[in-house]
Amino acid sequence: MIKVGILTISDKGSRGEREDLSGKVIEEIVKKINGEVKYYRIIPDEKEIIQEELIKAVDSLHLDLILTTGGTGLGKRDVTPEATLAIIEKEVPGISEIIRIESFKKTNRAILSRGVAGIRKESLIINLPGSPKGVRESLEIVLDALPHGIEVLKGQAAECGKNDEEIR
């Protein structure tokens, strides 16, 4: 089982003015990789609060995968990537790069997403867009690779490379 945390970053959502549909999409999709949501919060677009929640999810709750939704655009209050970069130890740029590349094939607005992915201790953190559609499309792009990445991160698997014959 993969222990999952969901952080929805939304000023309106944190005030109860908007239902969190994106968090529900994440919860539904992670079941496909034996993910179980152990922590879920809706928080405002405040860098310090986002950082505190990410640190808690990793350092105290020891979650394997933390998925954020929201706060990755160009708006003045969109600070999720900055908060994430401030607390991670290593970036995993391939995740956010492939999400933008594949999403661009559906909408040119994908290039406006600033989401990042990275590692803190033995946890993988991925910033996803704020819309349910964006969350679904983004997660489906990377979902199959996540269990192996988490196994490697936790020291449960060492070999990432496969020869061409094994892949076929």
- Local confidence pLDDT in tens for the 168 residues of the chain: 999 999 999 999 999 999 999 999 999 999 999 999 999 999 999 999 999 999 999 999 999 999 999 999 999 999 999 999 999 999 999 999 999 999 999 999 999 999 999 999 999 999 999 999 999 999 999 999 999 999 999 999 866 666 445 544
Q: What is the pLDDT of residue 13?
A: 95
Q: What is the pLDDT of residue 157?
A: 80
Alpha-carbon distances, residue 4 vs 23, 78, 110, 148 (angstroms):
12, 23, 25, 15
Do 69 and 139 contact (CB within 8 A), yes or no?
no
CATH code of the domain in which 112 resides: 3.40.980.10
What is the number of domains present in the chain?
A: 1
71's CB contacts (< 8 A; 6+ apart) are: 9, 10, 45, 50, 77, 78, 79, 80, 81, 127, 130
Q: What is the pLDDT of residue 11?
A: 96
Q: What is the pLDDT of residue 168?
A: 47
**What residue numbers bound the domain in which 128 lies?**
2-167
90-91 and 65-69 strand pairing: unpaired
